[in-house]
């Protein structure tokens, strides 16, 4: 069987599967599962094209890895075929641990279990299954491989993961603000002392990349309606879990039921295959199919929340720079109590506050280094004659207040 396939990708034209080993990983049910996990969760409620999946993103990031290694080799840096395959596998699997609607789930169903740790855990399982052939990929993923730039291509301020998701999210949402010149940036990649650097000529493309990321945050990732959709889902799962804990019967696929009926601690999750096996059966469809069925559940709170999602009648979300006025929150909550006949505790499902944040460029963690023509290295925030990059290096925290539209 010929495993050197090419795959049509509207973003890059074609993506080639570079080797039989990579083909086999893509064919693995754990990876095929990513076909059913949307990259942007609820974002399609605002941008109806944003249905692209983590499967597609992982392939895209893999494609960029091929381009980047070709550029680096062209500049005389040695990347052996084995290292190429390892880096390819590492980026292909970097998101393998994502569950459905990760942001919502990590606050509800699998509380406190980070998807990065699950990715690592899955890579180790696959390494066993493939007879140790993922050793180098794991070393790169963990940052334990001598050629640090291979790790930086996968995880740094300017990694190929971000480059693909900005490209892909812009493309499928239709928000041209996120368009970046990924091909120019990659062509400007270089390596100095085993570290990834960007040549001086690429400085404007890097600036643009940082700005694009910032704009995508506010225009897409933290769009009010997207936040509203995620918040509804968090509350639905919280309610369902508390009903399940109380012994209520709830329609759910076996995998979803597994996590509804019990609280799995981090330690338990990573203690064997028991929980992982169920987790790897979960995708967006389990969640949403249950939400649809729960619309008819006798619990008034659960059914109301579920209807909010299926009928796209979401929370109204206010985003501001200061803590919402507690009196206003109290008043809204009272309205909800009266209108929907709820207890104070129950009203917390409908009226609540939270904090969201956006840190576009974090100077401390894995800087973007610019290689000047005189061969010295300088941080992008210093290389630019624009003060904006310093301001990007600031966490912007915003406060949100959510409540039903009709109160």
Site residues for a second copy, 302-321, by CB under 8 A, read: 310-312, 321
Distance between CA 304 and CA 312 in Å, rounded? 12
Q: Return the number of the residue (161 or 169) whose C-beta is nearest a second copy.
A: 169
Q: Which stretch binds a second copy (CB under 8 A): 40-48, 85-93, 95-103, 119-127?
A: 40-48
Q: Out of 141, 171, 279, 349, point to the residue binding a second copy (CB under 8 A).
A: 171
Footprint (CB under 8 A) of a second copy, residues 343-402: 385-392, 396
Q: Which of residues 124-153 bind a second copy (CB under 8 A)?
A: none
For position 47 contacting a second copy by CB under 8 A, the verdict is yes
Q: By CB under 8 A, name the one of 2, 131, 176, 343 that touches a second copy.
A: 176
Q: Which residues, numbered 241-280, are part of the site for a second copy (CB under 8 A)?
A: 251, 253-255
Q: Rule CB under 8 A: choose which of 215, 244, 378, 407 binds a second copy.
A: 215
Can you tell me which residue has the tokens 């301020």?
Answer: 157
Nearer to a second copy by C-beta: 56 or 235?
56
Is residue 56 at the binding interface for a second copy, with CB under 8 A as the rule? yes
Can you give the three-state secondary structure of 3-15, one letter per residue? CCCEEEECCCEEE
- Nearest-approach distance from CB 257 to a second copy, in angstroms: 10
Minimum CB distance to a second copy, residue 201 (Å) = 9
**According to the binding rule CB under 8 A, does residue 48 interact with a second copy?**
yes
391 contacts: CB under 8 Å, gap ≥ 6: none
d(CA 142, CA 146): 11
Place of tokens 């390819």: 88
Q: Judged by CB under 8 A, does residue 49 bind a second copy? A: yes
Residues 181-200 contacting a second copy, CB under 8 A: 181, 183-184, 187
Nearer to a second copy, 347 or 389 (CB): 389
Residue 355's nearest CA partner among 401, 394, 391 is 401
Any contact of residue 281 with a second copy (CB under 8 A)?
yes
Q: What is the dihedral of CA 104, 106, 109, 115, to 10 degrees?
A: 120
How many residues bind a second copy (CB under 8 A)? The answer is 75
**Size of the chain in residues:** 407
């Amino acid at each position: 069987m010929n495993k050197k396939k090419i795959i049509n990708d509207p973003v890059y034209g074609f993506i080639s599967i570079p080797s039989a080993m990579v083909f086999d990983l893509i064919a693995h049910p754990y990876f095929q599962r990513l076909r059913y996990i949307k990259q942007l969760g609820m974002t399609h409620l605002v941008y109806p094209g944003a249905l692209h999946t983590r499967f597609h993103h992982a392939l895209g990031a893999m494609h960029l890895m091929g381009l980047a290694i070709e550029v680096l080799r062209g500049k005389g840096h040695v990347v052996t075929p084995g290292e190429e395959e390892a880096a390819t596998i590492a980026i292909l699997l970097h998101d393998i641990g994502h569950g459905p609607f990760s942001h919502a789930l990590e606050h509800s169903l699998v509380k406190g279990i980070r998807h990065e740790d699950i990715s690592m855990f899955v890579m180790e399982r696959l390494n066993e299954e493939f007879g140790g052939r993922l050793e180098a990929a794991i070393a790169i993923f963990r940052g334990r491989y001598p050629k640090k730039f291979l790790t930086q291509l996968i995880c740094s301020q300017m990694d190929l993961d971000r480059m693909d998701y900005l490209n892909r999210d812009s493309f499928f949402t239709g928000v041209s603000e996120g368009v970046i010149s990924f091909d120019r940036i990659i062509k400007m990649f270089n390596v100095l002392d085993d570290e990834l650097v960007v040549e001086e000529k690429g400085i404007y493309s890097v600036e643009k990349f940082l700005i694009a990321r910032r704009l995508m945050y506010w225009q897409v990732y933290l769009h009010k309606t997207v936040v509203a959709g995620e918040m509804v889902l968090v509350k639905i799962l919280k309610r369902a879990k508390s009903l399940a804990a109380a012994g209520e019967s709830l329609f759910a696929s076996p995998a979803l039921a597994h996590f509804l009926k019990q609280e799995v601690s981090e330690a338990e999750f990573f203690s064997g295959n028991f929980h992982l096996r169920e987790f790897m059966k979960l995708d967006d469809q389990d969640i949403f199919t249950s939400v649809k069925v729960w619309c008819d559940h006798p619990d008034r709170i659960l059914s109301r929340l579920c209807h909010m999602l299926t009928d796209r009648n979401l929370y109204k979300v206010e985003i501001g720079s200061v803590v919402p006025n507690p009196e206003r929150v109290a008043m809204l909550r009272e309205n909800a109590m009266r209108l929907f006949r709820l207890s104070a505790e129950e009203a917390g499902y409908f009226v609540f506050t939270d904090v969201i944040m956006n840190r576009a460029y974090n100077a401390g963690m894995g800087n973007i280094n610019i290689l000047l023509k005189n061969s010295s290295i300088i941080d992008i925030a210093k290389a630019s004659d624009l003060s904006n990059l310093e301001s990007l290096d600031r966490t912007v925290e915003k406060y949100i207040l959510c409540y039903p539209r009709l109160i």
